[in-house]
Structure 1
Amino acid sequence: MQTIDERIEAMAHRLARVPGVVGVMLGGSRARGEHRPGSDWDLGVYYRGGPDLAALRELAGPGVEVAGPGGWGPWVNGGAWLEVDGVAVDWILRDLDRVERVWADCRAGRFEVGVQAGHPLGFWSPCYPGEVALGRVLADPAGELAVLWAQTVRYPEPLREALTAAAWEAEFLVGGAAEGAARGDVLYVALCLSRAVGVLVQALYAHDRRWCLNEKGALAVAARLPCAPREFADRVGRLLGAPGVRPEELGATVGRARGLVGEVLAALRG
């Protein structure tokens, strides 16, 4: 009887035979060796032009909905949720031409942040090459994914410079939060501070030449990086966990946030 690992690998090879599909990579905690027994299996299904959705639906089996390109949004643009031996398996469609364009942008120090369901701080385009760099190739008939993986393993210095330079936005956001605090605008203050922290986390990852894929668990990792201020995660937790309601409470929170932002910016420049 096949183990779950063998069944996932066999599935990857079947996916790679679907017309339009170039190859399949294992992503997420399973690829990084950080998984728990019940962790999902994330399969990046890389295609060109457009995958044969009818073939994907036949492979997924009855009762499984397969979303085509654009079905899940502009960045996480489609896929399916399945179950194998009681464990969740996610197919995540990736347009390889677009991934390669984003990778070229990253090497030139360009990135963008798009709106995407499930990404409250936005989808940061370097996630695309980051997924490849941190993933494991399961099926790659023409060897294209292996070539891209070998390229993305080395973090591009122009992207590092661009993301660390972009940390200025955190200071700007704290200034906006101060104005909101004076009005007692809890939502605006909370949103400004949350995004400010997200911007700082991206900058800390980049400074350490580390790919940041999404918000999940990112704060805990960023807090352990050499450039992070002391007790970074705990201080962020106190800022976002109880910012207050009244103007004076919100103002005090913003004041602490301003200090933390200043420490990170100084460390990034140091």
Structure 2
Amino acid sequence: MATDQAHIARITAALANIRGITCVVLGGSRAVGGATTTSDIDIGVYYEPDILDLHALNQAVTALDDTHRVDLLASPGAWGNWVNGGAWLHMDGTAVDILLRDRTRVLQACIEAQQGTLHAHYQPGHPHAFMNVMYAGELAVCRVLWSDDETLVTQKMALQKYPVALQNAMIAFFGFEAAFSAGLAEKYAKSGDTYYVRAHIMRSIGALNQVLCGLNRQYCINEKRATARIAMYPIRPLDYKKRVDALVCCPRDTDACAALSTLIREVSELCDAHTGSLAVV
């Protein structure tokens, strides 16, 4: 059985010279650390949309797959507008996720990250939102396996320093959302409309996660395991993950709202101490 490094080398060789592909990268936990023996291999494929050879890419993916399944490739747009295509396959039983990224849109997102321009989008698989600047974060933290794209690599280097404008925007944008959503949850906590209340509580927690990522100048590229990552950041409320987990499982809406309000106030104090201000419920 081949090693993961051998799988990654084989994937890179198979994708590198397909027309329209400009860069192949390793992403996810295997790029940033924290991977386990069961972690997927996440491969980012940056492409030129007008010339990408989808047929050749589909053939390459089929050849890499353990059972050589056909039509594994989801073309751009099939999975949504942001996580917009790719393939799920297995190599010696190891799950491999190939994710397509339109390089033109990624480069625009890099500019927006440097400017602190944020916009949120609905995307299956992202319970809070997919942020435009997640594209920039992915590029910043990935490990380049092969590239014929000097512009993309230059942008990656520029993003190694977390932009101050992005930090300010993350705190302001999501600080407002955390407080606003928590306020709505509290307003209706005694109404018996538990779905509505809990949905706002989850939005508020998602926003707090983004605030804490920005405060620590860490790119948030996925909501998965976000609270576990934040638990390792130097600037955070004490026992943040444990308290979020308890809050989510709290049986009474009113008690959950009270616990959330306390967390928001603590994050506000951290923001005041380290940078600017955060709206408070």
Normalised by the size of structure 2, how large is the TM-score? 0.89
Q: CA deviation at 1:2?
A: 5.7
Structure 1 residue 56 corresponds to structure 2 residue 92 = no
Aligned residue pair count: 265
Q: CA deviation at 1:157?
A: 0.6
Aligned AA for 1:67? A
Match in the other structure for 1:267: 270
> CA–CA distance in 2 between the matches of 1:201 and 1:20?
36
> CA–CA distance in 2 between the matches of 1:4 and 1:138?
14
From 166, 180, 183, the counterpart of 2:188: 180
**Residues 166-177 of structure 1: matches in 2 within 5 Å?**
166=173, 167-177=175-185
From 80, 85, 90, the counterpart of 1:83: 90
Aligned AA for 1:182? K
The unaligned stretches of length 5 or more in structure 1 are none
From 117, 133, 144, the counterpart of 1:137: 144
Contact 1:41/1:89 (<8 A) preserved: yes
Q: CA RMSD in A?
A: 1.6
Structure 1 residue 96 corresponds to structure 2 residue 70 = no
**Residues 211-230 of structure 1: matches in 2 within 5 Å?**
211-230=219-238
Q: CA deviation at 1:7?
A: 3.3
Distance 1:264 1:142, change over 3 A: closer
Runs (4+) of structure 1 exceeding 6 A deviation are none
Q: CA deviation at 1:150?
A: 0.8
> CA–CA distance in 1 between the matches of 2:9 and 2:152?
16
From 258, 261, 273, the counterpart of 1:258: 261
From 127, 137, 161, the counterpart of 2:134: 127
> CA–CA distance in 2 between the matches of 1:142 and 1:185?
52
From 223, 234, 249, the counterpart of 2:242: 234
Q: CA deviation at 1:4?
A: 3.5
Normalised by the size of structure 1, how large is the TM-score? 0.93
Q: CA deviation at 1:102?
A: 0.8
> CA–CA distance in 1 between the matches of 2:212 and 2:33?
22
- Percent identity of equivalent pairs: 37
> CA–CA distance in 2 between the matches of 1:130 and 1:144?
16
> CA–CA distance in 2 between the matches of 1:237 and 1:12?
39
Aligned AA for 2:215? H
**Residues 16-31 of structure 1: matches in 2 within 5 Å?**
16-31=16-31
Contact 2:2/2:92 (<8 A) preserved: no
Match in the other structure for 2:9: 9
